[in-house]
Amino acid sequence: MTTDRHGTTGHDGAPPTVVDLSGVHKEYGDAKALDGVDLQIRAGEAVAVMGPSGCGKSTLLNMVAGLDRPTAGTVRVHGQDLGALNETGLALFRRRNIGMIFQFFNLIDDLPALDNVALAAQLTGTPARQARRRAVELLDELGVASRKDTYPAALSGGERQRVAVARALMNRPALLLADEPTGALDSRSGEQVMDLLIDLNQIGQTLLIVTHDPKLAARCAGRLVEFADGRVARESGIDEGTPERTA
């Protein structure tokens, strides 16, 4: 096996594996959030994770992003065993490999849109001018360049999420994680964000989307993973509408 920017390349010539979860358990006290999860995501895939509240969807996302550590099992992302990294290692890993989009955007209120986006690159040491130039390009691509000097409080929900997406893409991540990206948006803004995610996937961006919204999953993902009680209950190819695997 070899590793490229998108992950581990298989012997079969298939796209490399970007995410590889094997027997992942996560417990909070007596509560089991994840109970032996196995999941692989290949480069260029768009995978939607669905399930009822408390089934472990967000915990899964946190594991993949390196925001939380499993109680047992291994999480490999882009060929890297996250369990082997300390906090600094995880931060550097996220910086290089992960882009995150949140339901409530999580923009910094003190910074205008442009600086919110540039921030991700500046943390890596990219000079301010260069980071801002790339941020303008991204905002332009996402259709919010005219709002670059506006503070988050003055942006609409859709605009905020576009700015958040731009920030997530700033460091050209191998994997884009989205946690209920349309959950806090009106339907029109939600549609816009969905289109954006589809466009990104079409140009090769690997996506992992956690959502309650079947419409979002159906439109944006090529594969659906259904969770129940901390386990993968069902996996299906959305296009085929047929189950690939049932727990």
**What is 98-113 written as a DSSP string?**
EEEE-TT----TTS-H
Q: How far is the CB of 125 from another protein (least distance, A)?
A: 7
Q: Which candidate, 115, 220, 117, places its Cα nearest to that of 164?
A: 117
Give the residue with the Cβ less far from another protein, 25 or 95.
Answer: 95
Size of the site for another protein (CB under 8 A): 40
Within residues 99-138, the interface with another protein by CB under 8 A covers 100, 102-104, 106-112, 115, 118-120, 122-125, 127-129, 132
Binding mask 166-205 for another protein (x = CB under 8 A): -xx--x----------------------------------
Q: Which one of 6-14, 74-82, 84-92, 237-245 is the stretch in contact with another protein (CB under 8 A)?
A: 84-92
Q: What is the 3-state secondary structure (H, E, C) of 58-99?
A: HHHHHHHHCCCCCCEEEEEECCEEHHHCCHHHHHHHHHHHEE
Cβ atoms of residues 163 and 107 within 8 Å: yes
Among 2, 88, 187, 242, interactor with another protein by CB under 8 A: 88
CA distance 142 to 144: 6
Is 62 an interacting residue with respect to another protein (CB under 8 A)? yes
Q: Which one of 14-22, 55-63, 212-220, 224-232 is the stretch in contact with another protein (CB under 8 A)?
A: 55-63
Cβ atoms of residues 221 and 62 within 8 Å: no
Q: How far is the CB of 120 from another protein (least distance, A)?
A: 5
In terms of Cβ atoms closer than 10 Å to its own Cβ (0-12, 13-18, 19+), residue 146 is exposed
What residue ranges bind another protein (CB under 8 A)? 58-59, 62, 65, 67-68, 87-88, 91-92, 94-96, 100, 102-104, 106-112, 115, 118-120, 122-125, 127-129, 132, 151, 167-168, 171
